[in-house]
A and B are shown apart, each in its own frame.
Chain A
Amino acid sequence: MSSPNAAYPDTPQTEDKPPKRHEWPLWEVFIRGQHGLSHRHVGSLHAPDAEMAIKNARDVYTRRNEGVSIWVVEANDITASSPSDKGPLYEPSESKVYRHPTFFDIPDEVGAM
């Protein structure tokens, strides 16, 4: 990456303010569709700050009445598992069928679970 001010070489950096970024950070957007459901990841967008990210999310992802609540989180702040760790992370559970609650007889009266 070039220096943060490369696009605006004449813009002085002031000491008391944090350095200005010239590209908006990426935000991940989560929307709750109805009361009672949990927030779901719907996509991502760019915005200068969290407040504008909410506004942009409102404009980009709730145009067709999709949501009752919006969360945004800067993509940088998400810690994700690495695809190369797939083996050690997930394979050990594959052979442990007893972890699935499939060995119980469910009485018919209970209905669908």
Chain B
Amino acid sequence: MTRDEAFFQFLLRMGDNTLILGHRVSEWCGHAPVLEEDIALANTALDLIGQTQMWLGLAGEVQGEGKSADDLAFLRDAWDFRNVLLVEMPNGDFGRTLMRQFLFDAWHSIMLTRLRDSKDARVAAIAEKAGKEVTYHLERSGDTVIGLGDGTDESHARMQEALDYLWPYVGEMFEGDAVDAEMAEAGIAPDPSGLRADYDALVGRVLAKATLTIPDSRFAHKGGRNGRMHTEHLGHLLTQMQWLQRAYPGATW
């Protein structure tokens, strides 16, 4: 694997995370429990899609086959996606959506903070811009997790259930492989395993305030970020997200 091949994989991982989560969150548009949350979720989804344009745009450049961010988003099939499994999990109830958001935002904010020091100026610039958005996402999802976790018996039970369900998908974000080793050596991106301590501290603090119990297991579902095996949910998501370009190839507006 050349450095550019590894760099391309790294950029796909960043861009596919934000693309798939952005699409998932956008599924709430018009359905959220209150108007204010509906707008806030739509804003988050739009931020994530905006970040996708930057990551996948750069991925297309690095790949050097003349592909645009749109080409990469809409014309790849499930096995070519490199997002972690966490972000493709279905929304479930509002609590599970916000728990998934929080578990991802926490990792995302730590990752982007490290990427600001990337030796690749383009990566550092994207991280700088996305970092501000994600700082807000984390504040919002963290506060909501605390509010619902430390809320009524009903909301507490739902948030604990969401955490129990999603926790096995957290470990994959800290998995490392040859791509990560290459990126770390080039000074482009940190080794993901090095983010775990900060993550555990941050997540532990918020979940303690939310009176929620972190499951006592480090078992992790894997296979998303290396593309070995996604969950069955990704294909269903893509049929919706990519439908227009599949039915009307090259359609523009």
Hey, which bits of chain A sit against chain B, CB under 8 A? 8, 10-12, 20, 24, 45-48, 51-52, 55-56, 58-60, 63
Chain A residue with Cβ nearest B40: A59
Per-residue interface assignment for chain B, residues 140 to 158, with 1 indicating a CB less than 8 Å from any chain A CB and 0 otherwise: 1001000100011110000
**Cβ A11 vs Cβ B39 within 8 A:** no
**Cβ A55 vs Cβ B140 within 8 A:** yes
Alpha-carbon gap, A103 to B29, bound state (A):
58
Q: Is B178 an interface residue (CB 8 A)?
A: no
Partner of B34, one of A12, A46, A63: A46
Hey, which bits of chain B sit against chain A, CB under 8 A? 34-36, 39-40, 43, 136, 139-140, 143, 147, 151-154
**Cβ B152 vs Cβ A24 within 8 A:** no
Chain A residue with Cβ nearest B147: A48
**Cβ B43 vs Cβ A63 within 8 A:** yes
Of A12, A24, A52, A63, the most chain B CB neighbours within 10 A belong to A52
**Cβ B40 vs Cβ A11 within 8 A:** no
**Cβ B143 vs Cβ A24 within 8 A:** no
Partner of B39, one of A12, A20, A51, A60: A60
Report chain B residues within 8 Å CB of A10: 153
Alpha-carbon gap, A10 to B34, bound state (A):
23
**Cβ A60 vs Cβ B154 within 8 A:** no
